[in-house]
């Protein structure tokens, strides 16, 4: 199965804000970014299209294919940063909780949020359900965290390797998912 993942387009959030699972608006550049994505995707068809429920993904997915064909899946949501949602990264980086999380973000949860291991688990469950289908080509509109989780699960990258991989807004990443 060929999985085509798209990271949502730019958001209208000031730089340095932790917005994870918060539903934030898209940047005014959305139309241009969306047209570039459509050109890169070409005229290919997909057996199924899945999207994170957050509007920055559903709006992009709806611009690519008809809305009634999009399957919303909560497992494709970005990491939940809990109490840190919509705060400046700097505001908690040096805190005791921040130091604990940054020392092992894979296993340590954000206060009232998730760890990367939690996100890996959600993503793995999504892939397990995909394995049960006969799809040959699947489109997924999601977030950088989920794409990095796919890198770990499908390409056997370590979390550190996945997080060192740059992922731009609107970037398309393809995976071969063998059953």
User: Within the chain, which residue ranges are assigned CATH 3.40.50.1240?
Assistant: 26-79+122-179
The pair phi, psi for residue 68, each rounded to 5°, is -70, -15
In this predicted structure, the answer to whether residue 26 has a pLDDT above a threshold of 70 is yes
Cβ atoms of residues 23 and 158 within 8 Å: no
Cβ atoms of residues 6 and 171 within 8 Å: yes
pLDDT bin (cut points 50, 70, 90) of residue 45 is confident
Q: How far apart are CA 118 and CA 145, in angstroms?
A: 11
- Report percent pLDDT > 70 for the chain: 99
Under DSSP, is residue 103 helix (H, G, I), strand (E, B) or coil? helix
Task: Say which CATH topology domain 26-79+122-179 has.
Answer: Rossmann fold (3.40.50)
Query: Residue 179: its pLDDT value, please?
Result: 67
In this predicted structure, the answer to whether residue 93 has a pLDDT above a threshold of 90 is no
Give the DSSP per-residue string, 130-163.
HHTS--SEEEEEE-HHHHHHHHHHHH---HHHHH
Q: How far apart are CA 4 and CA 18, in angstroms?
A: 26
Q: What is the pTM of this model?
A: 0.96
């Amino acid at each position: 199965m060929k999985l085509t993942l798209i990271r949502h387009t730019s958001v209208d959030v000031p730089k340095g804000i932790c917005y994870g699972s918060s539903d934030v608006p898209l940047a005014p550049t959305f139309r241009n970014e969306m047209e570039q994505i459509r050109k890169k995707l070409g005229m290919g068809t997909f057996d199924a299209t899945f999207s994170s429920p957050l509007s920055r993904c559903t709006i992009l997915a709806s611009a690519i294919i008809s809305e009634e064909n999009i399957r919303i899946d909560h497992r494709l949501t970005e990491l939940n940063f809990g109490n840190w949602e919509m705060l400046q990264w700097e505001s908690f980086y040096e805190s005791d909780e921040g130091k604990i999380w940054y020392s092992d973000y894979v296993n340590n949860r954000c206060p009232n949020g998730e760890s990367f291991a939690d996100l890996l688990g959600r993503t793995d469950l999504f892939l397990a359900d995909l394995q049960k289908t006969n799809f040959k080509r699947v489109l997924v509109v999601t977030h950088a965290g989920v794409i990095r989780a796919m890198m770990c699960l499908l390409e056997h990258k370590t979390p550190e390797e996945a997080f060192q991989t740059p992922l731009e807004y609107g970037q398309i990443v393809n995976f071969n998912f063998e059953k």
